[in-house]
Structure 1
Amino acid sequence: MQYWGWLDSAFIVLISTYLVLAPYSKVEESFSLQAVYDMLNHGYADLELYDHKTFEGAVPRSFFGPLLISVIVKPIKPLLDKYYPDPTELNLQLLVRGVIGLTNGLSLIRLRRSLAASCALNSKYISVWFAVLQYSQFHIVYYASRSLPNFLALPFVNHALAYIVKGEFVPGVTWMCFTGVVMRLEVGLYGCCFALMSVLLGQSSLITTLGGMVAGSLVGLGTTLFVDSYFWGHLEFPELTAFIYNVVEGNSQNWGVEPFSAYFFKYSRALFFPPIVPIMLVKGLTKDPSQNGKGNTIRTICISSLLFVFVMSFQAHKEWRFIIYAVPALTVVGANGADLVVSQFGSSIPNRLLSLLAFVLPVVSLGTSLFMGYVSSFNYPGGVALANLNERLLKLDQTAGLIQQEITVHMDIPACMTGITLFGQLKPESLTNFKVNYDKNENRTQLLETATWEDYNYVITDLDSEADNQYLPKALVDTKLKDVPGCNWYKVDVVQMFAGVQVAPFVEYAKEIANDGFQLCEDIISLDTTNIKKVLDDSIILKDALYVYEKVCNDVI
């Protein structure tokens, strides 16, 4: 089971399925995604055209990850343009995300193979259990193709873990320190936890471990100073700047604070649902299956990961993605526990019950993951709204006798936060009769001026002009949809997003299956998803989220 298997293939297919199911992105992904767009379309020299020159963000972020992705995608882009032409560049966005997803997928497969190699003599099935437990989880699989900085860093962490599971702690810690300095500082903290525990548990010597940490950090420092200072146009160390802004100055609390226990009692439930990995952790610590002769590899992995989560808990602002790096490591320990439980199936009643859970809960986890993936596809109304408007503009472009030669589309903040990227804009060459300008102006002073709105022809906003907006400040309304003398705004599209789930359709479907089980068998055999898709659609509650308006002046449509 050391080499590529059908579970690995299914894993890549699952990542690809989520990518196609939800092709758009959220605001947290925007910096890296826009940076890749700029590198692919403007090259590496004309930096004044880059998106970050206009929208810098609260703190500078590293260009290292986007640079690596662009280097991989750039040779493929001409082939994509030739054989899969698109009026927008959403195909290119899918390719970019596909590369990210493949990188994350291959890094986890490498981790599984390293686990198989290190435990081949003592436990040949532990890597299979790792695949079953890890590949059936939702968060890592769904977000594997997304350009969140954490998931650009995750392949490097998994690469480091692949060394660590073989007992090679110094290379692992070196890679984590490098990644922490260049991409995400918390990865460096994770590396420090591994360094500390590997020394205390006799896995590595203090001198060699410190040497690896220093080497990784220095190479990382040189890399980030070289790459990021170039793209930002001044001496820049993004992770240090972000640390000062978010932690030292405490600005991260502006995005919300949570209690110390949130990672352990809130986010762990979400990351490991159902909790098969936590259930197997204690059993996984009882025996180390590695054959590196050090005897404490599994314990070091577990304690280091829990210590990392513990230290991260001191930061008041918490998000599950800040501790995502520990999930594969803890899953390794859980896989060891599952393997031990199943191998001792007949030894006791508790082991039989745990063995049953080891087989059943991953199936539940996969089913839950698939449902959550489908539900999550309704969380990107901005991307859908822009795609719908682009279709409208393409049809308008084919209309004879056009009076208007230039069109400006204004997209407000909620729209830009939920799926709108530069990849979604129409390419100039896809239009023959007019030019489309896409506007993301956030300046409230300018948006309160009528002259600004005179230039807008279409608006994508979260303001419903037909709703009762009397309780909203007029200034707020005017920044979202301001009246223009002699013109009217007409609502031409409404885009919905996820609002909740109702269980009644599932209950009804279960009753139908109970009455006619043959129908379910026929659907499975014929791969007919019509019935289950109807149940899923009926179970999802949607709400109006974004509205598209067209400005019509002087009664001319």
Structure 2
Amino acid sequence: MTLLTITQFHYPFWSSRTLPNCFALPLVNLSHYFYIKSSTRKNNKSRYAAISLIYITAAAVIFRIELVAMILPMVFQLWFNRRLSTFKIALIGGVTGLTALFTTILVDSYFWSSKLLWPELNGLLFNVYNNKSSEWGVSPWYTYFLAHLPKLLMTGLPLSIAALLPKSSFLPNEINQKFITIHNKVASFQPVSLLFPSINYIFILSFLGHKEWRFIIYTIPLFNALAGLGMGRLNDLWKMNTVQMKLMALVPVLALAVNFSATFLVTALSSLNYPGGSALSQFHHLVAQQPPSTVHLDVLTAMTGASRFGELYRDVGCDIGEEKVCTGWSYSKNEDHIPSEAQWKISADTDDEWTVVDSVRGFKGVSLRNLNIDIGELLHIQKRKTT
């Protein structure tokens, strides 16, 4: 499972990003850890189930309210399997939810200088109740299952299916119990139960028009856990004395090789997805010995890495329009016009009023028809011509 996860591009790449989904991810992973233990241990099942519910409830209230769609099937499964009673579910969920709610309101209200602010409620009303999320694009209902999951899981998807397939002439063995034994205290366990909350979660989210793969990132570890069982099942085929079975036993190794190759290629291309950051860095190198002025950054530049963190020479007391002598650079991101005082600009467009000093290359796209990767000049560092 570990090898599978680190050879998948999206999950490791985005796990370090400062997105609310990524803040919620560690809590959800801990919840899934204890959720699995509640199914595989003979003892302390209720305790592990309670801890699992605590973690995911806190993550939903504080970071991502859509996790309620995962809590509902998870709670049903815990109740159906007699891990938690209705009373305990209500008690644990209520106490955890209220504690997390008090915490997020206290912290967020302070930092946003607002009275009784619950960000996730605002997000729910805006995106779901008012359906404003559709303004960012609408995808078909099947997008998560047919597009995002295959992209995120890569070869992990067919490997997870291998864990679920019944015993047959094609796959004549079953999952070896040693792969799910924990300290020799294993209980009866059905791998398909791993996916019950995840499949239902994805199904519920499919009713929303706007879809992004980051909304289902929490399901990837569970699919990978199942894929790990599938890899173990296939690996066991090596013990059988037929060429077909021995070839099938090599599938996990081939799957990891495919993942690694694809991730290596996509990582290299992704490094070219931030020309704005590269252009801003190159700009600072060019003007290091020049007196401060104003530089204009167009929309593409700002969207592809030219953030406030990259503004090395910024004078925090010097804003456009103030009548004062600036001791640092002013960075303009006005979308309507370029300020007249701007002597430099980083933009995708060029015109006769500006001289191109340097250009930055980036990833433009892939042509599947010609199997061609298009990399070319995307942004230009330009200086205003003097009259």
Partner of 2:320: none
Note the C-alpha offset of 1:347. 5.1
Matched, 1:161 2:32: yes
Which of the residues 332, 353, 377 maps onto 1:439? Answer: 332
Normalising by structure 1, we get a TM-score of: 0.59
Note the C-alpha offset of 1:387. 0.7
Matched, 1:185 2:56: no
Question: What CA distance in whole angstroms lies between the structure 1 residues aligned with 2:374 and 2:36?
Answer: 44
CA deviation profile, 1:316-337 (whole Å, cap 9, x unmatched): 1111111010000111111122
- Where 1:186 maps in the other structure, the secondary structure is helix
Which of the residues 141, 164, 167 maps onto 1:282? Answer: 164
How do residues 47-446 of structure 1 correspond to structure 2 at under 5 angstroms? 130-167=1-38, 168-234=48-114, 235-274=116-155, 275-283=157-165, 289-291=180-182, 294-296=187-189, 298-346=191-239, 352-396=246-290, 405-427=291-313, 434-442=327-335, 444=336
Report the AA paired with residue 489 of structure 1. W
Q: Structure 1's 499 and 239: CA in aligned 2 closer, same or farther, altered over 3 A? A: same
Report the AA paired with residue 426 of structure 1. L
CA deviation profile, 1:441-475 (whole Å, cap 9, x unmatched): 24x3xx3xxxx622212122222337xxxxxxxxx
Structure 2: tracts of 5 or more residues without a match: 39-47, 168-173, 316-325
Across the aligned residues of Structure 1 and Structure 2, the Cα RMSD in angstroms comes to: 2.8
CA deviation profile, 1:283-302 (whole Å, cap 9, x unmatched): 49976724555534743321
Conserved? CA contact 1:165–1:297, under 8 Å: no
Conserved? CA contact 2:314–2:330, under 8 Å: no
Structure 1: tracts of 5 or more residues without a match: 1-129, 397-404, 467-487, 507-538
Q: Structure 1's 301 and 394: CA in aligned 2 closer, same or farther, altered over 3 A? A: same
Conserved? CA contact 1:136–1:369, under 8 Å: yes
Higher mean alpha-carbon deviation, 377-386 vs 409-418, is at 409-418
- Where 1:258 maps in the other structure, the secondary structure is coil
Normalising by structure 2, we get a TM-score of: 0.83
Conserved? CA contact 1:379–1:498, under 8 Å: yes
Report the AA paired with residue 218 of structure 1. L
Question: What CA distance in whole angstroms lies between the structure 1 residues aligned with 2:128 and 2:164?
Answer: 33
Report the AA paired with residue 261 of structure 1. Y
Question: What CA distance in whole angstroms lies between the structure 2 residues aligned with 1:321 and 1:160?
Answer: 18
Partner of 2:41: none
Note the C-alpha offset of 1:416. 0.9
Which of the residues 480, 488, 500 maps onto 2:365? Answer: 500
CA deviation profile, 1:421-443 (whole Å, cap 9, x unmatched): 111011459xxx9521112224x
CA deviation profile, 1:20-75 (whole Å, cap 9, x unmatched): xxxxxxxxxxxxxxxxxxxxxxxxxxxxxxxxxxxxxxxxxxxxxxxxxxxxxxxx
Question: What CA distance in whole angstroms lies between the structure 1 residues aligned with 2:193 and 2:93?
Answer: 17
Matched, 1:546 2:379: yes
How do residues 35-54 of structure 1 correspond to structure 2 at under 5 angstroms? none
- Where 1:553 maps in the other structure, the secondary structure is coil
- Where 1:325 maps in the other structure, the secondary structure is helix
Question: What CA distance in whole angstroms lies between the structure 1 residues aligned with 2:189 and 2:90?
Answer: 20
Note the C-alpha offset of 1:362. 1.1
Note the C-alpha offset of 1:498. 0.9
Question: What CA distance in whole angstroms lies between the structure 1 residues aligned with 2:383 and 2:307?
Answer: 21
Note the C-alpha offset of 1:238. 0.8
Question: What CA distance in whole angstroms lies between the structure 1 residues aligned with 2:248 and 2:78?
Answer: 30
CA deviation profile, 1:172-193 (whole Å, cap 9, x unmatched): 1211110111111123322332
- Where 1:394 maps in the other structure, the secondary structure is coil
Conserved? CA contact 1:290–1:297, under 8 Å: no
Higher mean alpha-carbon deviation, 371-380 vs 288-297, is at 288-297
% of aligned pairs identical?
Answer: 27
- Where 1:295 maps in the other structure, the secondary structure is coil
- Where 1:457 maps in the other structure, the secondary structure is strand
Conserved? CA contact 1:284–1:336, under 8 Å: no
Question: What CA distance in whole angstroms lies between the structure 2 residues aligned with 1:148 and 1:500?
Answer: 25
Q: Structure 1's 359 and 493: CA in aligned 2 closer, same or farther, altered over 3 A? A: same
Conserved? CA contact 2:237–2:248, under 8 Å: no
Higher mean alpha-carbon deviation, 175-184 vs 284-293, is at 284-293
Conserved? CA contact 1:180–1:187, under 8 Å: yes
Residue correspondences, number? 354
Q: Structure 1's 391 and 227: CA in aligned 2 closer, same or farther, altered over 3 A? A: same
How do residues 446-465 of structure 1 correspond to structure 2 at under 5 angstroms? 447=337, 453-465=339-351
Question: What CA distance in whole angstroms lies between the structure 2 residues aligned with 1:194 and 1:259?
Answer: 26
Question: What CA distance in whole angstroms lies between the structure 2 residues aligned with 1:132 and 1:284?
Answer: 25
- Where 1:254 maps in the other structure, the secondary structure is helix
Note the C-alpha offset of 1:351. 5.3
Report the AA paired with residue 162 of structure 2. M
Q: Structure 1's 151 and 499: CA in aligned 2 closer, same or farther, altered over 3 A? A: same
